Structure 1
Amino acid sequence: MRHSIPISLRASARAPHALALTCAAALCAFGLPACAIAQPAQAATERVLQLSIPSQPLGATIDALARQAGIGIGLDSRLNAGHVAPALQGSMTLGQALARVLEGSGLEALVNANGAWIRRANVSGEDGTLAAVTVTAHRPLDGAAAQAYRAASSSVGALGTKALRDTPFSLNVITRELLENQQAHSLLDAVRSDAAVAQGSNYTNGAGEVLSVRGLLLGYRNNYKLDGQDLIGFLGAPQVPVEHLESIEILRGAGGFLHGFGTPGGIVNLVSKRPPQAQVRSITIEATGRGAALVHGDIGGRLGEDERFGYRVNAVEEQGNTYVKDGGHIKRRSASVALDWRITPDVVWSVDALAQQRRVDAVYYQLVPNGNGRAANYAIAAAPAAVDGSTRLASPFTYSDARSTSFGTSLAWHIAPGWDARLSHRDWKQDMQSNHSFLFANAAGVYSEQQISLPARVRSQQSQLLVTGGFDIGRVRHDIAWGVSASHIRAQESNDFGSQVLGTAALATPGDFVDPGLTTHWIEGGWAFPERQRSLFASDTLHFGEQWDLILGARHNRYISNSYDKSAITPTLAVVFRPAPWLSAYGSYIEALEQGSTAPRTAANAYEVFPPIKSRQYEFGLKAEQVDWSASAAVFRTTQALTYTTSAGRYSQDGEARYQGVELSGKARLARSWTLLASGVFLDAQNTATSLGQYDGRRTPGASKRQFAAYAEYELPGMPLTLTGGWRHVSARALDMANNWSLPGYATFDLGARYVTRTAGARTTLRLNVENLGDKAYWLMAGSNRLVQGAPRTVKLGAQFEF
């Protein structure tokens, strides 16, 4: 928390006792023991921190240091102006880090066991008296519930890690503590409190996870990252268990220069758990739905001389019946390990690995609304009434079985004061055996089920070198970032493919069809889409004092596939203005390049590959950050090539989709008992410049005009009990390109409670969450012809033990 406290004291510069009293008064203002000034504690000055903080304004670096050290750092508010801190990379104590940060600034740091205070090196005025100062206590933002789940910074692709308030982009960080308190186990669970992100599928009875941001569907190849590097999915997002994640960073809008190839809706970066500075030991036990049970273990710490070796191990197992009645079942297990070695104070080597298996029974990929309910009829018509999510629509013998592995390594090198380099590589593999269904239903609820049996494999490899540093030219500070990236992605289907229409029934009374025994195996020679990507990028962030930043960046992209070899440059231009220390305004222009669409198997021109797409985005926004709250507002306009299936059944990449709107979000700690997270998006998504103009001015399918989300907590006074509640609203969505049909909007409500106690010396947190309290039936939507049931009322009960 921050306190701005004027302190007017007069004391002789040669009177050490008076000086000590002056320091004590300032430190007591934000809760640091005065007696620690004369005798700094060894624990605070000698504890080794593993740092990777870019060059940035001094205040942002002090926030980052305070967060990592887990202490408060006091800073005279007038001293922050005009100072840019050098980058910090490698192993060092808090005292060493502060000394490096303040070198040549005319400032010095006093450190004690609970925190530090930064002051002028010469604290005396010319008359031997101390001037009036305003002390600001920087409480580190670490994403805790007590701080409204706010994070101080986020990785921003090629720009490195930046303070959220200093970035000219819309960003949301979903922190570890929020994931735990909401008992999230999938990406779809995690984004419930972010209105800008829409769920397009159901984690339990849908065959894949599908997300869209600001109305734009995220691509499965380049829009999902693990620690900033590519993951590739099949039939949806890559399925990474969130129990192994420290946070989820969501860039709302085009990635372009920042992340390279990808659709302009946004980037979802999954930040894996890393070796902690302090020891971690926890076990979580949870029961969900109709009997599924979950166990999750998490241990980590540091070993060896000077704590040079760090480790983090996580393991998860979940098994049992899902909320899908009469056949729904889940079995998943996963394990991860992350290690690092501080070879020298300036060189750190890290490795990590993740393995997962997940099988879910009674699943379907999509329900296609058509006019007659017959299988393989993809001509869109009115949708049937929504069906409760617990109703089994897919046959119980259908399933999706995915096995994935990830391996990553990086070498971080603090080259010289203010200059750092990071070389990283990630390898991702996922094998899937999908025996899922396609459903086709008319408005009356008559449906046909077609089972598909198809093995598939996806592979991605990416290597990247990023170099950052800074220098001054006159009064302008330049922060430079440049790098190269190379990746190879391959998605492939087996040459062995099976399909069988199982029968016809009514959604109100689903059929009990005979298992045809479809069995397929992996055989080389099926459809494959290999691609290689090469990029070279560079940027310069110019700091004109503390108020103005100008960001210039460009990325040269080369995209190579079986169908074409294309190159393009995607530039970025942004300006940040800070009229007050707590407020920033920004404007940005960014271009994005994405791979062209591929016609689906069901189209008349199946597997036709279209050329790459260049998208453009304009955005203007405000960001505010105060002691107990932060808020942001953005106005944006994004254009993207339009893809759709024509009435003749051909898949087309024709015309343009224009997404423009207003986005609002805020996180606040109200009074002493209330926490509130709220967001909303007002979106105008229209089609333009289509062939013959037949779809011009029509709403883009799947994009709702309004989406709102809120999450609140109330701590009962004098009790370790917290009550929680959530609300999410999605307005009506166009169902087809011509806007002849639409889906109604829906709203869901959640309730929960959290109780903290101790069990046999272990901190114990008991959690209860009830999602979709009213058991609302609704359709989720992705694209123009894919519907999936929304999740029904779901109860989650768990206990977490921290040793």
Structure 2
Amino acid sequence: MKKRAARMDLNVCPGKALAPKSDKNFLITSIVLLAATTMLTSLTSGTAVAQTVMTSPKVAPVQEHGSINFNIPAGSLSSVLTAFSIQAHTPLGSQAPMLAGKSSSGLQGRFTSSDALSRLLQGSGLTYRVTTDHAFQIIPVSNTIMLGPVRVGGILRSSVPPTAMIGNLPPTLPGGEIARGGQLGMLGNKDVMDTPFSTTSYTAEFIQNRQIRNIRDALKDDPSIRGTWATGSAGNEQVMIRGFSIPTSGISFGGLYGMLSTSSVLTELAERVEVLRGPGALMNGMSPDGNIGGTINIVPKRAHDKALTRVEADYTSNLQFGGQADVGRRFGKEKQLGVRLNGMIRSGPTAIARSDLKTALVGAGVDLRLRHVRLSTDFGYQYREIDGVLPYLALGAGVPVPDAAKVPQNLGASWGYNRTEDIFGVFRAEVDIFRNVTAYGSVGVHDSTFEGIYPASVTLTNQNGTASTSKPLAIADHDRNITADVGVRGKVETGPVTQNIVVSANRYNLVRDEAWGFSASGYPVNIYKRSYIPRSDISVPGNLPLYSSSTLSSLAFADTISALDKRIQVTAGLRVQRVQSANFSATTGLKTSSYDKTALSPAVMAVFKPLKNVSIYGNWIQGLQQGSVVGTTYANAGEIFAPYKSTQYELGVKADFKKIILTFDVFQISQPSTVYDVVTNIMSLNGEQRNRGLELNIAGEIVHGLHATGGLMLIDPVLKKTQGGLYNGQRAPNVSPINFNMGLDYSIPFVKGLSVNTDIIYTSSQYIENPSPRRSVPGWVRLDMGARYVMPNPATDAGKITLFLNVDNVTNARYWNAGGYNNLTLGAPRTFRFAVAADF
């Protein structure tokens, strides 16, 4: 064999054995507690060593057919690149001296070969080029030429810097249902192991595999989240995170609040659904309703580099039919321009008696990615109508909670309806000013109309079922939202220390026109019998006067300092938040009250990695809610309180086992409230509810073909400071202390194309009020199951046909959802969903 001086060709034959020179040590750690069971898992760490390289000219040239599941342990750069060449089936050439003494943190997950190689070379001072014979060649950064596009998660990424958001979608864990990272507000995208919070990012594949219709149901495997009012009720599809309410108005779209429907957000809009548990005022600014339990962000759909054409027909019990289409294409020599169009329509009776649901959606996303400029725009139209609105069940004084199994699903009037129509548009831009410095901006406009006539509630007056409806309500409103966000992200490297600096400003504005009217009286009913409710003679108001306006504006700064190859990361930041609001007289149009206050909201967060696959993190951060104006009946009438600051302390640990990530954390959130002194009659901001808990979350592939998502949350919600100390020390109402969720998806090994899934949800009992004797709703368990079968599409070579069957609430469990204010709604009954999807 001829000797080649100072050269090592990493042209490795796939499958050829490699001879390691040394072995790896293993560290055993215990971390998993899931519903009173303990699981011990091996924790692999350390460095892989250099390996003897075999040379072969027979490896196929570079081809980008799609993503590959890489499992490359950390080690010397030489051994890591060897493993890459084997797993990518790709020839790789390199000069040996340039690899000497360099290491790589390895790689796990699905990537295209070009993006995988880019990630493995990060921080090494090396890059790559594609040779004339279509192989990869490792070269120093100083010899870099303009590279072709690389792809992440199936989406084109043309040399996107780490400071960018557009075209920088984080990769997924094995199975494709959960992403390895997500958007952290103004801090940009972060890998889950570099995120100082407990987060989960659910993908469109997770949603499709379970045939989920709305965003709230897409979060059903999250133990920290619970839905409140039922779909089809008078309320919006809000959730609770860590025991605090999150209305649909608190869901952001690409980081912007106010762009989505406030009644229900449909899943067809989402490429990812990202959940950040805990307050996020620093990263996202104050939300319209002051969410403090967490934030939910929808990542809009974009065209993948692989052409997409998918049509689907579906059926939902009872007799609800629908269909959808999703088309994506990229254009240009390097596929710089992407267009994604999708639409959906469904109509018919639901599984709830005397309730019909009509929904329609059209969405469009266009993006342009140039060398230093990236642009995107999204448009959407959504229509939703409910016939047979479900009322809340309210309880009279001293009336026990009725047995959910004996109460009909729909206590409302068959003529009751409400409808919502939304149209929105969002434009985003990013410009790379310098190397690793990116300026960004976005603006969105949302126009929404709502109208309805229905009795909102039924009040139970005795245990025999005697009740009465509220006065039927006729309501109409028109909302206009304009939201904007601008900022600059920069990365500065100074020796061993790296700084990621961001400055951001945002503004949210809502103007609402609203009017309503009521019938003269409610109607007597019995909750245990089918009762006739006469049709109301009221009509929806025609002229809508100005009702209210609200403006949230803020300026924020944050700096993340990292050292020792990101093993130590500390983030400090500050947001200055201004809240302005006003209410207006419906008759005169004059302002009746106003609010204008400013608050400072600091935060400190840190990540420490004692091992490369273990992160210990902590945060001290605040959430903001609009303060109140003291009413005229108090001695300090007219006093305006500054925005309320809810403070969170959180400490957690994350372990990355290559294919699965475990997160364990403990947290405390303190929410202030107003109380008054009975002696001085002065109202003050001295009340407090403290939610303290622990969470355990699991996501990824447990064994080959078996994917898990879910975990456990134990929470202790306590009223610490109440009016006159009357309820001090009591458990807060409407919060379940024990919450367990587990979603499993398994690919049957002996039946090609067949997969099954199941979701188990347990919620313990919870109080619904403060006064003694306290009433509570019983705990409940729900089981969802599903199956899908994938087969080739005979109409095209590369396409497929997928059959879906999903059943929610398999056992038809009857249970109450508590939504606050003593209002209850029944959980959804057993519901079947069947769909056929064809990809071309």
Indicate which of 550, 564, 568 corresponds to 1:531.
550
One-letter amino acid of the counterpart of residue 331, structure 1: K
Equivalent residue number for residue 50 of structure 1: none
SS of the aligned residue for 2:208 comes to: helix
Query: Who is 1:255 aligned against?
Result: 280
The amino acid of 2:553's aligned partner reads R
Quick one: distance in 2 between partners of 1:522 and 1:573?
50
Hey, what's the Cα distance between the residues in 2 that align with 1:369 and 1:595? Answer: 30
Offset of 1:763 from its aligned partner? 0.4
- Does 1:352 pair with 2:372? no
3-state DSSP of counterpart to 1:795: strand
Task: Give the whole-Å Cα distance in 1 for the aligned partners of 2:179 and 2:363.
Answer: 24
User: Is the contact made by 1:535 and 1:555 (CA closer than 8 Å) also made in structure 2?
Assistant: yes
* Partner in structure 2 of residue 399 of structure 1: 417
CA change 1:247–1:18 in 2 (3 A) is closer
> What letter is aligned with 2:761?
R
- Secondary structure of 1:497 counterpart: strand
- The answer to whether 1:584 aligns with 2:619 is no
CA offsets, 1:520-565, max 9 Å, x none?
224233642x111221111111011121111111111111122221
Summarize deviations over 1:454-490 as a string: whole Å, max 9, x none: 1122232111112111112332111111111112123
Q: How many residues align?
A: 727
CA contact (8 A) 2:60 2:90 kept: no
Q: Deviations over 1:48-87 (max 9, x none)?
A: xxxxxxxxxx99xx99xx9xxx99999999845699xxxx
Range moving further from structure 2, 108-117 or 352-361:
108-117
TM-score, normalization: structure 2?
0.79
Matched letter for residue 290 of structure 1: N
Give 1:88's aligned residue: none
Residue 102 of structure 1 deviates from its aligned partner by 5.6
Any conservation in 1 of the 2:11–2:57 contact (CA below 8 Å)? no
Distance of 2:282 and 2:509 partners within structure 1: 19
For each residue in 1:607-655, what CA deviation from the matched residue of structure 2 results, as whole angstroms up to 9, or x when unmatched? 99975211100000011112221110110000112479999xxx99761
Do the aligned residues in 2 keep the contact of 1:196 with 1:214 (CA within 8 Å)? Answer: yes
Query: Is structure 2 residue 502 aligned with structure 1 residue 481?
Result: yes
| Pair 1:655 & 2:687 matched | yes
Residue identity over aligned pairs, in percent, reads: 25
Unpaired runs of 5+ in structure 2? 21-50, 67-75, 107-111, 142-151, 155-168, 583-593, 632-637
Could you tell me which amino acid in structure 2 is paired with residue 783 of structure 1? Answer: G
Aligned-partner SS, 1:188: helix
**In the alignment, does 2:471 pair up with 1:471?**
no
Indicate whether 1:724 and 2:757 are aligned.
yes
Query: In structure 2, what is the equivalent of residue 709 of structure 1?
Result: 741
CA contact (8 A) 1:392 1:510 kept: no
Listed as ranges, the matches of 1:587-598 within 5 Å are: 587-596=618-627
Question: Among residues 756, 768, 776, which one is paired with 1:735 in the alignment?
Answer: 768
> Would the aligned equivalents of 2:12 and 2:56 in 1 still touch at CA under 8 Å?
no
Which residue identity does 1:616 align to in structure 2?
Answer: T
Q: TM-score by structure 1 length?
A: 0.82
More off after superposition, 99-108 vs 704-713: 99-108
Q: Distance in 1 between matches of 2:317 and 2:675?
A: 37
Secondary structure of 1:718's aligned partner: coil
Rounded to whole Å, the distance in 1 between the matches of 2:401 and 2:266 is: 33
Whether 1:745 and 2:779 are equivalent positions in the alignment is yes
Instruction: Tell me which residue corresponds to 1:665.
Output: 697
Q: Which residue identity does 2:626 align to in structure 1?
A: Q
Equivalent of 2:452 in 430, 434, 451: 434
1:685-700 correspondence runs (5 A)? 685-700=717-732
Distance in 2, Cα, partners of 1:33 & 1:114? 20
By how many angstroms is 1:151 displaced? 0.6
Aligned to 2:303: 275
1:220, distance to aligned residue in structure 2 (A): 5.1
Query: Which residue among 356, 373, 379 is the counterpart of 1:329?
Result: 356
Matched, 1:320 2:348: yes
**Which amino acid in structure 2 is aligned with residue 666 of structure 1?**
I
Stretch of structure 1 that moved more, 156-165 or 184-193: 184-193
Distance in 2 separating the partners of 1:179 and 1:115: 37
The 3 A distance-change label for structure 1 pair 247 and 103 is closer
Amino acid at match of 1:467: V
**What residue ranges of structure 1 are gaps of 5+ in the alignment?**
1-9, 48-57, 84-92, 123-137, 372-379, 601-606
TM-aligned CA distance change 1:94 to 1:798, over 3 Å: closer
- The letter for the 2-side match of 1:288 is T
Spell out the pairing of 1:96-107 with structure 2 (5 A cutoff). 105-107=124-126
Partner of residue 34, structure 2: none
2-structure distance, mates of 1:173, 1:628: 15
Give the letter for the 2:705 counterpart: S
SS at match of 2:414: coil
For 1:514, which of 511, 534, 541 is the aligned residue? 534
**Pair 28,592 (structure 1): closer, same or farther in 2 beyond 3 Å:** farther
Give the AA of the match of 1:507: I
2:744, 2:827 → 1: CA distance?
22
TM-fit CA distance, 1:298: 0.2
SS at match of 1:193: coil
CA pair 441-35 structure 1, distance change in 2 beyond 3 A: farther
Amino acid at match of 1:149: E
Deviation at 1:149, TM superposition (A): 2.0
The equivalent of 1:165 in structure 2 is: 193
Give SS of 1:230's match: coil
* Residues 266-304 of structure 1, C-alpha deviations (whole Å, 9 max, x = no match): 111111111222211101111001100110100011123
Counterpart of 2:220 in 1: which secondary structure?
Answer: helix
Give the CA deviation at 1:416. 1.7
**Partner of residue 770, structure 1:** 807
User: What are the within-5 Å matches in structure 2 for residues 65-214 of structure 1?
Assistant: 79=102, 105-109=124-128, 146-147=174-175, 149-214=177-242
- Conserved? CA contact 2:477–2:544, under 8 Å: no
Alpha-carbon spacing, 1:333–1:233, altered in 2? closer, same or farther (3 Å):
closer
Q: 1:544 aligns with which of 563, 566, 569?
A: 563
State the 1:100 CA deviation.
11
3-state SS of 2:207 partner = helix
CA distance in 1, matches of 2:133, 2:716: 50
CA contact (8 A) 1:71 1:115 kept: no
Equivalent-residue separation in structure 2 for 1:218 and 1:115 (angstroms): 51
8 A contact 2:254–2:298 mirrored in 1 = yes
Tell me the secondary structure at the aligned position of residue 258 of structure 1: helix
Give the structure 2 partner of residue 559 of structure 1: 579
| 1:618 corresponds to 2:643 | no
Instruction: Name the SS of the counterpart of 1:349 in structure 2.
Output: strand
Query: CA, structure 1 residues 111+472, in 2 after alignment: closer, same or farther (shift >3 Å)?
Result: same
Partner Cα separation in structure 1 for residue 759 and residue 696 of structure 2? 17
CA distances 1:718-750 after superposition (whole Å, capped 9, x unpaired): 212112221101111111023511111111111
Distance in 1, Cα, partners of 2:134 & 2:524: 69
Question: Against the structure 1 CA distance between its residues 365 and 483, is the aligned structure 2 distance closer, same or farther, given a 3 Å change threshold?
Answer: farther
- In 2, distance between residues paired with 1:520 and 1:391? 26
Look up the match of 2:480.
459
Q: Secondary structure at the match of 2:404?
A: coil
2:579 partner letter: Y
Instruction: Evaluate the alpha carbon distance shift between residue 557 and residue 346 of structure 1 in structure 2; reply closer, same or farther with a 3 A threshold.
Output: same
Residue 404 of structure 2: aligned partner: 386
CA distance in structure 1 between the partners assigned to 2:684 and 2:453 by the alignment: 28
Deviation at 1:581, TM superposition (A): 1.1
Return the alpha-carbon distance in structure 1 between the equivalents of residues 677 and 823 of structure 2. Answer: 16
Q: Which amino acid aligns with 1:532?
A: T
Question: How far apart are 1:499 and its partner, in Å?
Answer: 3.3
Alpha-carbon distance between aligned partners in 2 of 1:324 and 1:571, rounded to the nearest angstrom: 47
Give me the whole-angstrom Cα distance separating, in 1, the residues matched to 2:710 and 2:90.
Answer: 28
